[in-house]
Amino acid sequence: MERPLTQDIRPDRSPLDIDEYERAGGYGALRKMLGEMPPDRVQEEVKASNLRGRGGAGFPTGVKWSFVPMGVDAPRPKYIISNSDEMEPGAFKDRLLMEGNPHQLIEGLIIGAYAVQADHAYVFLRWAYHRSARSVEKAVAQAYARGYLGRNILGSGYSLEMRIHISAGRYICGEETALLNALEGKRGIPRSKPPFPQLSGLWGKPAIVNNAETLANLPHIIAKGAEWYRGLSRSPDGGTKIYGVSGRVKNPGLWELPMGVTMREILEERAGGMAEGYRLRGIIPGGASTDFLLPEHLDVKMDYDSVQKAGSRLGTGTMIILDDRTCPVGMVHNLMRFFARESCGWCTPCREGLPWLTEILAALETGRGREGDLDILEDHTRLLGPGHTFCALAPGAVEPLQSALRHFRSDFERHIREKKCPWR
């Protein structure tokens, strides 16, 4: 089984330096691309690879790029940004890539930049990831020193400047338009679309935002081709995926596996199954903003379409496990408190609605739940759903709530009936 993204990453994650990366074939894709592939060929290759965005939304990467104006009349400068602001609760995959193999991300970012003919690239990194920041900063300096960045890269005539922006910790900055505002030195609140960032993104110029894991795939696609990349997968979505499991399992962790392995394979074979004395009750498949699935869904393939068909989203592919000794209402309360705190406050339904939901869930947990509370919760899963808010934060926030109300209804009702949390 091939593991292109993680095969060179050491168990202690000490970063590959540039010599080690080059010895492993690193920057070979960049050389090949600059030597023989015009930008539209790069875009075509990535489209053909069926690479879909690994930040959670799963939008085809090559298609995303295709909206950027190209040619001599295109507005300049153009930008590309690595969204390295991993903050989705339960997600810890981009950290591995940035700590363990920073040059892979940088080479990917240069390839993406070339594909849209960007002049500037940014790595937008979260503050709490100090080790990632050190690793990426050092790697960028090394890449400049070897001529992979800067003016006239490897004599190709293509130039790219790369900067690192270290954010100061807000979940919403992972939303691409909020990220762009944050980069411009404004409060990180989302913008309305259109205009889409590909046309007017950073300082009014075209900008592409790609997730760090997405970018890390690019050197491999360019080096070995779209057909090879599609062949890595067990689903129509191309490539491998870094999957994760956290919660009460024997061996929590991250594994790079073919896209489309089943949840059962990840949970039982990789994570070693449930920890001693715990039974599986639910699975949040892709980070905090995805719907709960149940043990009956264990044979669902972890790819974008399959998880969607089962009633959730692949999201980040990092599964969070609900066990039988953990209160599902308490778990949803924890999630809602997170989303309420991280709401940027720009639009009213999100700013006012999420704290209210959090308060009702807290009431249930402390025995103050009332008849009718579940109806209010249910109404809000619609009122805060798609189409009612400025961005996807609140619709994402209500996903675990709406599915918990469906799958764990009797647990919610017990809290009201018994006037306490049965797990306490």
- Told to check if 163 binds other proteins by CB under 8 A, we report yes
- Told to check if 323 binds other proteins by CB under 8 A, we report yes
Q: ∠ at Cα 43 (40, 45), nearest 5°?
A: 110
- Told to check if 414 binds other proteins by CB under 8 A, we report no
- Told to check if 30 binds other proteins by CB under 8 A, we report no
- Told to check if 288 binds other proteins by CB under 8 A, we report yes
Three-state SS at 3? coil
Contact 311, 337 (CB under 8 A): no
> In terms of CB distance, is 189 or 222 closer to other proteins?
189
Q: Name the CA dihedral angle for 412, 416, 418, 422, rounded to a multiple of 10 degrees.
A: 30
Which string of DSSP letters, residue by residue, matches 52-110?
A: B-TTTT--BHHHHHHTS--STTS-SS-EEEEEE---STT--HHHHHHHH-HHHHHHHHH
Site track for other proteins across 67-106, x = CB under 8 A: -------------------xxxxxxx-xx-----------
- Told to check if 176 binds other proteins by CB under 8 A, we report no
> In terms of CB distance, is 279 or 341 closer to other proteins?
341
- Residue carrying the six token digits 């809602």: 336
Q: How far apart are CA 161 and CA 155, in angstroms?
A: 15
Q: What residues contact 331, with CB distance under 8 A and at least 6 apart?
A: 322, 404
> In terms of CB distance, is 183 or 222 closer to other proteins?
183
Q: What residues contact 84, with CB distance under 8 A and at least 6 apart?
A: 94, 98, 105, 123, 124, 125, 126, 129, 132, 136, 212
> In terms of CB distance, is 45 or 291 closer to other proteins?
291
Site track for other proteins across 118-157, x = CB under 8 A: --x------xxxxx--------------------------
Quote the DSSP letter at residue 253: E
Query: Using the rule CB under 8 A, which residue among 165, 224, 351, 368 binds other proteins?
Result: 165
> In terms of CB distance, is 46 or 166 closer to other proteins?
166
> In terms of CB distance, is 132 or 381 closer to other proteins?
132
| Length of the chain in terms of residues written | 424
Cα radius of gyration (the chain): 22
> In terms of CB distance, is 23 or 127 closer to other proteins?
127
Least distance from C-beta 186 to other proteins, angstroms? 7
- Told to check if 252 binds other proteins by CB under 8 A, we report yes
> Which stretches of the chain bind other proteins, using CB under 8 A?
86-92, 94-95, 120, 127-131, 163, 165-171, 182-188, 203, 244-248, 252-254, 284, 288, 318, 320-323, 326, 330-331, 334-335, 337-338, 341-342, 344
